[in-house]
Amino acid sequence: MEFTIDQIAQLLDGNVEGDGSTKINRLDKIQEGTAGSIGFLANLTYEKHLYQTQCSAILVSENFQPQKETTATLIRVKDPYIGFTKLLETYQKITKPELIGTENPSFKHESSTIGANFFRGAFSYIGRDCSIGDNVKIYPQVYIGDQVTIGDNCIFHPGVKLYSGTIVGNNCEIQAGSVIGSDGFGFAPQADGTYKNIPQLGNVILEDNVSIGANTTVDCATLGATRIGKGVKIDNLVQIAHNVILGENTVIASQAGISGSTTLGKNCVLAGKSGIVGHIQLADRTTVGANTGIMKTVKEPGKTFLGYIGMDIKSYLKSYSIFKKLPLLENKLRELEKKL
């Protein structure tokens, strides 16, 4: 692709400051670009790069006031980050070939149906009685079990596994290697110290606009459904146990884990490596810090937790700051004891 700066400004409804006829053929970070690149400046901690950038054009905010000279042509837009995201999307549409058709060998049981404009990669598998919508892209080595229902515009990257009975809404995307619908971890202890497997008969429901990262696992429910709400975004290597329910637009970062039968509200944020015990509820907009464990139901919405056993974040940081100087405290205490 190659566009002039003027053409890009028109696409983004922006104003050009400098030579608008320069050709652009690449998107780059402001600090890494070269001639022909367009970058952006949203966070002003990166402003110093503007005065050294080799990019030919930089998106800046409408009201931005440069402190020094820059060789780059500026395009002033309402929100440079959103503008740049729009360019990324446009670039992706133009450069990424659309996948269509069936690669062979691949496997689809005759009882299953798939809509228009599909892609089925080599060594992908579709079991019995599946119903799959339009514009669904099934990469190589994907497994779709029996009685799976999938909406429109979904993408399953290589090696994704959907167990039988999984239900997927519209516009969902799952990165490579993730497993949806594996058996929940349910074992009944027996008198002799052994454990007996408890059949896991439920399924997993992904509502619309769900994104799931790579090598993540979502277990099916024992009965009923493990439900991932509309617009939920889940990162890599996350564990979602059986019968978990995630509210709309909740975001879960890498290596976090949620134990069985726990329910999260809407717009919660779980940072990396955080863990939530089973059978509790988190209110809407709960934020859980990195590596933080939540052991009890949170009823009040909008709270933020941090700590090995999660505490209010301010309290935790205060306690931790004193933890750091415990040797000092101990010494003071000793001195006081001596004095008395």
Residues 199-218 that bind a copy of itself (CB under 8 A): 199, 201, 209, 211, 213-217
Residue choice 18, 66, 115, 224 for contact with a copy of itself (CB under 8 A): 224
DSSP code, position 97: P
Site for a copy of itself in 17-56 (CB under 8 A): 27-29, 32
Distance CA 33, CA 52 (A): 10
324 lies in the site for a copy of itself, by CB under 8 A: yes
Minimum CB separation of residue 109 from a copy of itself in Å reads 9
Residues paired with residue 261 on neighbouring β-strands, in sequence order: none
Site for a copy of itself in 151-210 (CB under 8 A): 157-159, 161, 163, 173, 175-177, 179, 182-183, 185, 187-188, 193-199, 201, 209
121 lies in the site for a copy of itself, by CB under 8 A: yes
Contacts of 265 (CB under 8 A, 6+ apart): 247, 250, 281, 282, 283, 284, 285, 286, 301
Angle between helices 326-339 and 313-324 (to 10 degrees): 60
CB 260 within 8 A of CB 241: yes
Which of 9-17, 67-75, 87-95, 110-118 is the region at the interface with a copy of itself (rule: CB under 8 A)? 87-95
Residue nearer to a copy of itself on the CB measure, 116 or 317? 317
Residue choice 22, 149, 277, 313 for contact with a copy of itself (CB under 8 A): 277
Helix residue spans in the chain (DSSP H): 5-11, 47-50, 80-95, 313-324, 326-339
Which of 3-11, 12-20, 58-66, 116-124 is the region at the interface with a copy of itself (rule: CB under 8 A)? 116-124
- Compute the C-alpha angle 223/288/162, nearest 5°: 35
Query: Is position 279 annotated as part of the catalytic site?
Result: no
Catalytic residues: 242
